[in-house]
Structure 1
Amino acid sequence: MSYLEETYYYDHQSADIKNMIQEFDNEELTQKEKAVGLYLKVRDGWRYDPYHIRLKKEAYKASALVKRNSGHCLDKSIILIAGLRGLGIPARIHLAKVKNHIGVERLIEKIGTNELTPHGMINVFLNGKWLKASPAFNKELCEKCNVAPLEFNGEEDSMFQEFDNEGGAFMEYLEDYGHFEDVPYDFILNNIREHYGEIYNKYEGLKEIRL
C-alpha cells in the first residue's frame, strides 16, 4: 500500500481538493514544505467543532468536508490526508481515544463524557519515516484555551498538547486504535455506537447531527 491512492473518502482528484492544495502544487517546494504548509492551512482554516457528529459514509468524503468552515478532528484529518495524497505525499488516518481536560462541563452536558472517541489524526511519510500529526485545534481556539498552538515541522511527531500554558492538564491519550489504509467507516460508526449509545440511538438514520 503506497497510501497515495484516491479512494471514495480521499477523493483528491475532485475539483474542491485540487483547489485547496493548488498553492502547494509547486515544484520549487520540498515535500516537507508542502506538508507543513498544508498542515497549517487545515489546522487554522477549519474551526474545530466536536459537537458535529457524522453518521453516514457520504458525510466523510473529503470533497464534502472541505466545503465547510469547521470540522471535527476526524473531518480535518480526512481533509489533510486527501490534500497530502493529492500532492504525492503518502498519508493515512490514525485513530485513538482521548480525554479532554478543558471545557469539560460543556462536553459532559452535550456528549455525556469528556472522553472523545474516535479521535482522528494523521500519519504522513516524510524523509523515509512515518510521522504523527494532529491538525484538530485551530490557532484561535488554542489562544482561547490558553494553550500553545500545535506546530508541525515535518521532522517530528506533533500530537495533542499535554498541558496548557499554566501547566494544567489539557489532553490525555487513553487508547491507541492504530492506523488504517482508508477511512474505517464501520469502525467509526461502531465506536460511536459503543461509547455514545444514547446519542446514536436517538439520531440513528440521520446523515449527521449537531449537538
Structure 2
Amino acid sequence: MKYIERTDSFDFDHAQIRKFIDPLKDLDTDQEKIRQVYLMVRDGWRYNPYHISFQREDFRASTIAERQDGHCIDKAILMVAMLRGVGIPSRLHLAKVTNHMAVDRLIEKLGSDELAPHGMVDVYHKGAWLKASPTFNKELCDKFGVDPVDFDGSADALLQPYDARGEVFMEYLEDYGHFEDVPYEFILNTFKENYPEMYAAYKDQGRVRF
C-alpha cells in the first residue's frame, strides 16, 4: 500500500524519528501503536500557529521533530511519519476551518479567523480510514476549557466543535482531501489564496515568527 511508504517528507527512517518510534514497535496491537503515536504528537509538540515557513525542508518530519512546537500541518506530518514507521498506513488530510479560539494576534496577522490549510491525519485501521487531529496539546485544551481529543483508531477524532460552555469552538468549512505525500505547492498556493497580503509580505523571508 502506498500509504505505508517512506517519502522525503515522511522520512521515518531518520534517526530523529526512530528515537521516538523504535520503542513502540514491540507493542502488542496496532491500536495501541496508534494511540501511543497520537498522544506523543498531540502532547509532545506544543501547538504554535505563530510560525510559518515557505521552505520545503521545513515540511519534513525529521526537521519538525527537532523543534518543541508546531502548527497543525507540522504535527500532522509528524504523526503520519511516525505511524508509517511503525507499520500503520496513514496519509495527510487538509481542510479549511474556522478557529473561534483564535486570539487577536493571529486574526490581525491573517486578517481572518479562518485557517487554511489545516492539517489532520487519515489512519487506516481494521479496514477503514479514520480521521484524527493531534493539533491541540492537553495544556492548551485545559487553558481554553475544552476536553483534549483522544484517538486510538476506533473512531474519528476531529477538533472540538464546542467548548465546555457549549459555545462554538472549531468549525470545518471546506475539505481539500487527502494526500500520499506532503503537497508543498498546494499548501503554499492555498495560503496565498487565503492570505495574499501576508503571503506577499513574508514569502521572501523563508521563515517568519510573529
Q: TM-score, normalised by structure 2?
A: 0.97
RMSD: 1.0
Corresponding residue for residue 188 of structure 2: 189
Q: Secondary structure at the match of 2:35?
A: helix
Deviation per residue, 1:2-34 (Å, 9 max, x gap): 3011111000110011111122111x4201100
Q: Secondary structure at the match of 1:205?
A: helix
Instruction: Supply the distance in 2 between the matched residues of 1:54 and 1:124 (Cα, whole angstroms).
Output: 26
Corresponding residue for residue 37 of structure 1: 36
Q: Secondary structure at the match of 2:204?
A: coil
Corresponding residue for residue 127 of structure 1: 126
Q: CA deviation at 1:56?
A: 1.1
Amino acid at match of 2:86: L
Corresponding residue for residue 16 of structure 1: 16
Instruction: Supply the distance in 2 between the matched residues of 1:62 and 1:89 (Cα, whole angstroms).
Output: 16
Amino acid at match of 1:3: Y
Q: CA deviation at 1:171?
A: 0.2
Q: Does 1:75 align with 2:74?
A: yes
CA contact (8 A) 2:97 2:173 kept: yes
Q: CA deviation at 1:107?
A: 2.1
Deviation per residue, 1:53-89 (Å, 9 max, x gap): 1111111010000010000000000001000000011
Instruction: Supply the distance in 1 between the matched residues of 2:5 and 2:92 (Cα, whole angstroms).
Output: 13
How do residues 91-130 of structure 1 correspond to structure 2 at under 5 angstroms? Answer: 91-130=90-129
CA contact (8 A) 2:2 2:180 kept: no
CA contact (8 A) 1:100 1:170 kept: yes
For structure 2, list consecutive stretches of 5 or more residues without a partner in the other structure: none
Segments of 4+ in structure 1 off by > 3 A?
A: none
Instruction: Supply the distance in 1 between the matched residues of 2:159 and 2:62 (Cα, whole angstroms).
Output: 26
Percent same amino acid among aligned pairs? 53
Q: Secondary structure at the match of 2:49?
A: coil
Q: CA deviation at 1:206?
A: 2.7
Instruction: Supply the distance in 1 between the matched residues of 2:111 and 2:131 (Cα, whole angstroms).
Output: 28
Q: Secondary structure at the match of 2:205?
A: coil
Q: CA deviation at 1:199?
A: 1.2
Q: CA deviation at 1:154?
A: 1.5
CA contact (8 A) 1:122 1:134 kept: yes
CA contact (8 A) 2:91 2:123 kept: yes
Q: Secondary structure at the match of 2:134?
A: coil
Amino acid at match of 1:8: D
Q: CA deviation at 1:104?
A: 4.0
Q: Secondary structure at the match of 1:3?
A: helix
Corresponding residue for residue 4 of structure 2: 4
CA contact (8 A) 1:96 1:178 kept: yes
**Corresponding pairs, count:** 210
Amino acid at match of 2:173: L
Q: Does 1:54 align with 2:47?
A: no
For structure 1, list consecutive stretches of 5 or more residues without a partner in the other structure: none
Q: CA deviation at 1:204?
A: 1.6
